[in-house]
Amino acid sequence: MSKGPTESHPGKDTEDRPGSAIDRRSFLASGAAAVAIADAPAAQAAEAAAWDRETDVVVIGAGAGGLVAAIAAREKGASVLIVEKNFDIGGRAMMSFGGLYIGGGNRLQKAKGVEDSPDREFADWSRPEKPMGRFSDRALVRTWADNTLELFDWLEKNGIKWDSYRGVPDRLDRNRTRLNVVRWPNEPTTPARGSGFVRPLEKTARQMGIEILLQQQMTKIHRESPLAGRVTGIATVEVDDWFKPKTRTMNIKARKGVIIATGGSAGNPVFRTMFDVRLTEEYQAENSEWTERTGDGEIAAMEIGAALGATACQTTQDDNLITKGRMGKKSNGAITELYPTSPHFFRARALGLVVKDYQNVILVKENGLRFYDETATTRDYEYYAAALAWTGDPRKFNGGGPIWAIFDADAVAREEWDVKPPHVDPNGYFFTADTIEELAAKIVNEYQWRPMSGAALRKSVERYNSFVDAGVDADFKKPRPMHKIARPPFYAAWHTPALHDSYTGVRINTSAQVIDLHGKVIPGLYACGDSAGGFGQHGICRAATFGRIAGFHAAAQAS
């Protein structure tokens, strides 16, 4: 096991790497910073900014990556300030299952008899026959693998408690070693376990004297000149509960570095359609009631010269890139939801309905027509290809439009759904009527770009009912259609696929430093988590790994 920058190895390689594990693999970072500084135009004047605050390290975002980065930087003696645009910490990690792909041969694996090593982790996650292995930056995969053992111990030291190990064959590697955290007790916001990752780290951060400024939206990253020199700080603006600007800009100077941990770009249609033109505005980012994921960190970095990294990871449709989710609500998270007692629930507006058996519904596009076997699993990527496919109307060439689940009163009884608020959102995402034609006419939604034809929906329902009589779905081969849609009232629930993860962000090296369009380091700028591109791994561990690396590296820089 490699040794990190501990008491017994003070300062060892901290200028370029947080530990000797990275030292073995950091071929990208070794000379990049020096080259970038040497090539920067020497005569450029420093960007003028009146600083309202100063600190050593500024972290943008208080989620999984940002909290880890802040603690790591503070641990090495840097003063740290976190800016977070929400009125609570946690980011999307708060709404997660709290799972980490963290192995390497740690003590819990050994206790379960699971054999693992950094070499094995690297081999698992870089296999070319798997899409994420094929398109991920192997230098970053190697860095993650070499640091998981140290990260495991470090997270325990900073308050994380482990719940269980799952060592079973899985779609991503030959020996899955996904570890879950213990849910934070009495968390009033969500049934997800992610609270057990971010709440302990928040507690540690505050105990260490790290200041967290809530409801502060980063609006700009300052650099000595627009495309050259060091990053010097950020600008922020105070925002309200809906993330709308309230007051004047505040400039915060970062003497050592700025770390982007803003959670990715899944909620920004302009950004995501750079990689897939089908992902137009109707597709929501999961759990956006907690965090918007607008790509603001990536955009601010790109404005000062940052490149994107490994963009092919975003379009592999491997793992959880897009999901069916809940229905009857706008931000249709696949697994977790906010409790109605949550202070964030006003953005969610509904819990959403979970479909236990897709024999109970048909799915139609905005034109009222079925398009696929409804029982398709969440990882049937041909389902998503059909869902996102063009409907043939020249008024909207890209994107498949909204998808609605259509069902009747008998389906409600079989599924035991409660079809009233707060379970559904009647403000554009859930409708009911006594006839099919009336139901189609009621479907008015901000993304339903044309009225649904009542005749088309009636034809779809009647044709499907005939398949129930025949016992065969002649259109889409749904396994023996079982239930007619016949007893009023009839229902339409928003069931448009949701975007789960962001696997494309700004390009980083193995020290989590942001790289520009010329392949050079932008001095003083770092990124981690879904804001960083290059490694298509789902979950918290990628964010924590590179957040820790970024924090260590930034703290070691000269002021």
- The residue-averaged pLDDT of 491-514 equals 94
First to last CA, the chain: 32
- Give the Cα separation of 348 and 343 in Å (integer): 10
The 505-507 sheet, strands edge to edge: 308-309, 505-507, 532-533
Asked if omega into 422 is within 30° of 0 (cis), the reply is yes
Residues 477 and 243: their CA atoms lie apart, in Å, by 45
If pLDDT is split at 50, 70 and 90, which confidence band does 35 have? Answer: very low
Nearest to 368 by CA among 256, 467, 515, 490: 490
Beta strands 532-533; 505-507: pairing state: parallel
Nearest to 147 by CA among 260, 256, 26: 26
Instruction: Count the neighbouring beta carbons within 10 Å of the beta carbon of residue 480.
Output: 11
**Mean pLDDT (whole number) for 180-207:** 89
Distance of alpha carbon 210 from alpha carbon 57, whole angstroms: 10
Q: Which helix (H) or strand (E) holds 245?
A: strand 245-260
Q: Which of 494, 503, 488 is nearest to 402 (CA)?
A: 494
Question: 28 pLDDT band (50/70/90 cuts)?
Answer: very low
The answer to whether the beta carbons of residues 289 and 336 sit under 8 Å apart is no
Contact 549, 509 (CB under 8 A): no
User: Which is nearest to 36 in space by CA: 229, 281, 299?
Assistant: 229
Q: Does position 262 have pLDDT exceeding 90, yes or no?
A: yes
Q: What are phi and psi of 408, to 5 degrees?
A: -125, -175
pLDDT at residue 175 tops 80: no
pLDDT(71) > 60:
yes
Closest CA to 22 of 146, 138, 167: 146
CA 491, 496, 498: angle at the middle one, nearest 5?
Answer: 140
Cβ atoms of 289 and 192 within 8 Å: the answer is: no
Do residues 239 and 85 touch, judged by C-beta distance below 8 A? yes
pLDDT at 342: 87
pLDDT at 500: 83
SS3 assignment for 179-206: EEECCCCCCCCCCCCCHHHHHHHHHHHH
Cα–Cα nearest to 368, from 274, 284, 439, 293: 439
**CA atoms of 58 and 50, how far apart (whole Å):** 16
Q: Which tokens go with 281? A: 């505005």
H helix or E strand, kind and range, residue 148:
helix 138-157
pTM of the model: 0.89
Is the predicted pLDDT of residue 96 greater than 80, yes or no? Answer: yes
Read off the amino acid at residue 281.
Answer: E
User: CA torsion, points 14, 18, 22, 28, in degrees to nearest 10?
Assistant: -60
Instruction: Identify the H or E element spanning 138.
Output: helix 138-157
Closest CA to 97 of 340, 342, 286: 286
Segment 353-380 shows an average pLDDT of 95
Token code pair at residue 189: 């916001």
Mean pLDDT (the chain) is 88
Q: Which domains does the chain possess?
A: 21-314+501-555 (3.50.50.60), 327-499 (3.90.700.10)
Q: Which of 64-73, 163-172, 395-404 has the lowest average pLDDT?
A: 163-172
**Closest to 329 in 3D by CA, of 439, 419, 237, 234:** 419
* pLDDT exceeds 90 at position 513: yes
> Which position has the higher pLDDT, 30 or 544?
544
Question: Would you state the pLDDT for residue 334?
Answer: 59
Q: How many CB atoms lie within 10 A of CB 187?
A: 19
**Ranges 42-46, 150-154, 336-340: which has the least confidence:** 42-46
Collapsed DSSP state (helix, strand, coil) of residue 94: helix
pLDDT beyond 80 at 547: yes
pLDDT exceeding 90 applies to what percent of the chain? Answer: 68
Residues 429 and 448: beta-carbon distance below 8 Å: no
pLDDT digits (tens, 9 = 90+) for 334-347: 556 788 888 888 99
Share of the chain above pLDDT 70, in %: 87
Q: How confident is the model at residue 441 (pLDDT cuts 50, 70, 90)?
A: very high
pLDDT higher than 60, residue 125: yes
Do 515 and 508 contact (CB within 8 A), yes or no? yes
Is the pLDDT assigned to residue 15 strictly greater than 60? no
Partners of 252 in beta bridges: 53, 234
Of 4, 61, 68, 32, the closest CA to residue 550 belongs to 68
**Residue 198 pLDDT:** 96
Q: How far apart are alpha carbons 453 and 362 in whole angstroms? A: 16
Concatenated DSSP letters of 59-87: EE--SHHHHHHHHHHHHTT--EEEEESSS
